Amino acid sequence: MTAPLIELRHVGKSFAAVRALEDVSLSIGRGEIHCLAGENGSGKSTLIKVISGVWQPDQGELLIDGQRIESMTPRAAITHGVQVIYQDFSLFGNLSVAENLALSSELQEGRKLVSWRRVREIARRAIDRLGVDLPLDALVETLPTSGKQLVAIARALMSDPRLLIMDEPTTALTGREVAALFRVVRDIQSRGIAVLFVSHKMREMLEISERLTVIRSGRVVAAGPISEFDEAAITRAMTGQEIAAEGYRWKPSPNAAPLLEVENLTIPGQLEDVSLRILPGEIVGVSGLLGSGRTELALALFGMQPGYTGRIRIAGQEVRLDSVQHAIEHGIAYVPEDRLTEGLFLAQTIDRNMLATSLGRLSRAGVVQSGRAARDAAGMIREMAIATPTGDRPVTQLSGGNQQRVVIGRWLLNDPRLLILNGPTVGVDVGSKSGIHRKIRELARARGLGVLMISDDLPELVENCNRILVLHRGRLVSDTPVEATSETALGEQLAALA
């Protein structure tokens, strides 16, 4: 048997007091798709940086083709055929696709002058090689995320790599784009290039990889061919705990008055004749393909689609939700899909983010009562179990899961009656995810909160909801109690709609 392409033996790496990697051994074979899994902070990025020569390991060794590499530098890594696609892609938004593709090879060749004809030729070759279609003259910033990613991949492939490392490549992609990316990855593999795919999404790992290494707190906790794993095993390895799918076992009392009633809700071109009811304490899931009208439904209930027709009643009283202000007054809270750009004030502290929608309530004569505000924020940090010593830290220091708790906690401070969650755990790691689920179920049960949970994550819906609605092209096509369906059944239903 030939030596593996890359092998790490007993590698350790510390940052001051933090032991980021400990006794990590890992080998990647030629042309293999290898998945590196682990929760946030488990050391995945550090491991990548050891392989790509950004960090020198404190202990252990790194071998390429069975040869020990004494000191790996970024340049040496590139020479050995290691290319990394970082999460932010490291592209230049202000430059054209062609130039982005050509720059690094031009620099590598030590060119001093730019020939735009050569730049285009180089770029054309890179794109043809990847077998995709990209506009050479477009500025990269005008491309969608998936397009930027293709540029980054095309650029990485130009230097004939033997190992392509992708750090969480699917985070910002839609389902269809992920499928397209996987085709590209398999195509890359078919040319004998190995791919190290970093992820914390289990489905993706199971679908794309041949071998899997799971790390937790800097140590390898599981490794082997993908056939030896299923979701439960990966989750167990990643979190170190059994996260059982408990399901939301709760029955509304048969004569409870509905919290929300929607009748014939219509927004031309977006929603048609949607009717639904939510009881207090009920968690209702909404699923559907892209463009099904799920988000439009959420936005309408949050007062952001003032042009709707139809009737909306809250606690039996008819209301007209034609502004966000109104929706909030009627006790509706909305946690958007993209919390980084829509939900959080990234430059602000946790406390300020937490209090963002309650300052009106907390002020008297225009002055915020800071004592009460601080108490409220601190109380909610405790209630939502947000992992931070104090609320005056920047919110950007929190992990994805904790940031999501801040956004949810913010709305809870307003005592809402209906909580709309759009993709509540997108980009949140497994352990944190089940914590958020538990919290949502607890809130529904204890406070009688109605929850509308929009999600692409079918297990998430099955695990948390009483009922699951499926929307398609703006119409409600089914409303099923969770006992009567399953993840597979839902998956098949959606696949049939596609």
Partner 1 sequence: MSGIANAFRRHPELMVAAVLVLTVVTIGLVNPVFWQPSNLFSLLRASVVTGILGLAVLLVMLSGGIDVSFPAFAIAAMYLTVKAMIAWGFDSILPAFAMATGIGLLLGLVNAVFVHYLRMIPLIVTLGTGTAVRGFILGVVGTSQINIDQMPPKLIDFARTQLFSVTQADGSQAGLSAMVLVYAVVALLIHLLLRHTMLGRGIYALGGGEEAARRVGFNIRQTTFLIYGLAGAIAGFAGLLHGAMIWTANPRDMVGLELDVIAAVVLGGASIFGGRGTVIGTILGGLTLVVITNSLIILGIDTTWQRVVVGLIVIAATAATAWRDRKRIA
Ligand X SMILES: Nc1ncnc2c1ncn2[C@@H]1O[C@H](COP(=O)(O)OP(=O)(O)O)[C@@H](O)[C@H]1O
3-state secondary structure of 295: helix
3-state secondary structure of 254: coil
Q: Which of 107, 367, 495, 498 binds partner 1 (CB under 8 A)?
A: 107
Round to whole Å and give the CA distance between 252 and 257. Answer: 10
Show Cβ contacts of residue 101 under 8 Å, excluding neighbours closer than 6 positions: 122, 123, 126, 127, 151, 154, 155, 158
145 binds partner 1 (CB under 8 A): no
45 binds Mg ion (CB under 5 A): yes
142 binds partner 1 (CB under 8 A): yes
434 binds ligand X (CB under 6 A): no
94 binds partner 1 (CB under 8 A): yes
Q: Which of 9, 12, 31, 40 binds ligand X (CB under 6 A)?
A: 40
Residue 103 interacts with, from ligand X, Mg ion, partner 1, none (CB under 5-8 Å by kind): partner 1
Which range of residues in 139-147, 268-276, 432-440, 480-488 is near partner 1 by CB under 8 A? 139-147
Q: Which is nearer to Mg ion, 45 or 466 (CB)?
A: 45
Q: Which is nearer to partner 1, 22 or 106 (CB)?
A: 106
Round to whole Å and give the CA distance between 492 and 471. Answer: 14
Round to whole Å and give the CA distance between 171 and 44. Answer: 15
43 binds ligand X (CB under 6 A): yes
Q: How many residues line the site for ligand X (CB under 6 A)? A: 11
Q: Which of 56, 73, 108, 397 binds partner 1 (CB under 8 A)?
A: 108
Residue of 118, 53, 59, 48 whose CA lies nearest to 79: 53
91 binds partner 1 (CB under 8 A): yes
233 binds partner 1 (CB under 8 A): no
Q: How many residues line the site for Mg ion (CB under 5 A)? A: 1
Q: What six digits make up the tokens of 417?
A: 């009656």
For 352, other C-beta atoms within 10 Å of its C-beta total: 18
Yes or no: say if 283 and 441 are a contact pair by the CB < 8 Å rule: yes
Binding residues among 113-132 for partner 1 as defined by CB under 8 A: 113-114
Binding residues among 325-354 for partner 1 as defined by CB under 8 A: 341
Round to whole Å and give the CA distance between 482 and 480. Answer: 6
160 binds partner 1 (CB under 8 A): no
Show Cβ contacts of residue 117 under 8 Å, excluding neighbours closer than 6 positions: none
Binding site for partner 1 (CB under 8 A): 86, 88, 90-95, 99, 103-104, 106-108, 111-114, 137, 139, 141-142, 341
